Amino acid sequence: MLTFETPQYLLLLLLLPPAVYLRHFRKGRGAVLSFPFRVWRGHGFYPRQIGLKGVLFLFSLFFWIGVALLIVSLGGPSLSRHEKLFLSRGVDIMIVFDQSPSMAGKDFPPVNRFETAREMTSHFIAGRENDPIGIVSFGTDAVLRVPPTLDYELLNKRLSELKIMEMGDGTAIGMGLAVAALHLSTSQADEKIIILLTDGENNSGEIQPETSASIASKLGIRIYTIGIGTTGEVSAEFTDPETGSVYSATLMSRFDESMLQKIADETGGRYFHAVSPGTLEAVFQTIDSLESVERLVKMQVVFEPLHYLFILAGFLLIMLEFTVRKAFFREIL
């Protein structure tokens, strides 16, 4: 909505009609306009063909519109909009993402486990509001991709950049949980959670998943564990991010379900098993509903100043009229 800080200045617009009358209708008939000789080029001059009066009227109109815009700028125009101001913090969330080669399993059509998990994670992020969310990924080791942030655009960008086997061919679940817990340890939020997505067993890293779960529990962090994929033989295909080589194989798919259940139980979270894109989507919806907290919200009006746009447009129109008149016409009084 367009509003004005000092609307009384808009009364100056009432002076424009008499100003236009005095300038254009009281000058008398002595004003003559002539083309520079170079425009004729020896071919004669026909006012009706060139539309001289129309051109003059158009550029005079530009001038007065420019003046009007400058007057409007004095009124302090601004664009107002209503925004939510959250008076209480939401849930701080860390998503721990498995990048091991087995995530290339093709039992999540039309793509693989990795692509489906990434897509559902993005949908989950879009559904949250005012919840700082971060990402940790792991393979042979674990790394923080994004600390908890409200910049969901950055979050999705980093999520889209994740690649299978980027962190090696191991599965360091304990390290991934430890890194996530570390970056939630200083959070002042009342609720802190970790969402773990994996399809494998812990076989790498210096910290065991049970140790990370114990640390998270002491920090008041709940862990939701999601086991992705079916069990048994699964075909997989992925590209090595370092060499560009494409690998195809049949994997024996399994994950440590008892370990994932134990982690969830110790921290007050829940364990889920997702065997298809539909069930994974349902899992995220369940977590979303479990972690919806009531927050104090205040509506505030935000004003975005626009006066500089009116000033710029006004000066441009006035300068355009002045430049064209001096370049192509000579006004002889």
Mean pLDDT of 49-77: 78
Please, which pLDDT band fits residue 48 given cuts at 50, 70 and 90? very low
**Does one domain contain both 131 and 214?**
yes
**Does one domain contain both 73 and 168?**
no
In a domain? residue 296 = no
Whole-angstrom Cα distance, residue 95 to residue 135?
A: 5
Mean pLDDT of 31-43: 46
**Does one domain contain both 180 and 63?**
no
In a domain? residue 232 = yes
- What's the number of domains the chain is made of? 2
Kindly report the CATH number assigned to the domain that includes residue 132: 3.40.50.410
* 91-98/191-198 β-pairing: parallel
pTM of the model: 0.66
**Does one domain contain both 178 and 281?**
yes
- Which 8-state DSSP code applies to residue 13? G
**Does one domain contain both 109 and 150?**
yes
In a domain? residue 27 = yes
**Does one domain contain both 203 and 229?**
yes
**Does one domain contain both 127 and 151?**
yes
**Does one domain contain both 135 and 170?**
yes
Q: What is residue 298's predicted lDDT score, i.e. its pLDDT? A: 62
Comparing 61 with 213, the larger pLDDT belongs to: 213
**Does one domain contain both 183 and 94?**
yes
In a domain? residue 181 = yes
Ranges of beta strands (E only) in 150-229 are: 191-198, 221-228
The per-residue pLDDT for range 82-116, each reduced to its tens digit, is 766 555 567 999 999 999 999 999 999 999 999 99
C-beta of residue 99 within 8 angstroms of C-beta of residue 139: yes
Containing structural domain, residue 326:
2-81+301-332
**Does one domain contain both 232 and 116?**
yes
**Does one domain contain both 114 and 10?**
no
In a domain? residue 225 = yes
The alpha carbon dihedral of 96, 97, 101, 102 has a sign of positive
The per-residue pLDDT for range 287-300, each reduced to its tens digit, is 999 987 655 556 66
Report the C-alpha dihedral over residues 180, 182, 185, 191, rounded to 10 degrees.
10
C-beta of residue 76 within 8 angstroms of C-beta of residue 4: yes
In a domain? residue 107 = yes
Query: Chain-wide mean pLDDT for the chain?
Result: 85
In a domain? residue 267 = yes
In a domain? residue 295 = no
**Does one domain contain both 135 and 270?**
yes
Whole-angstrom Cα distance, residue 322 to residue 234?
A: 75
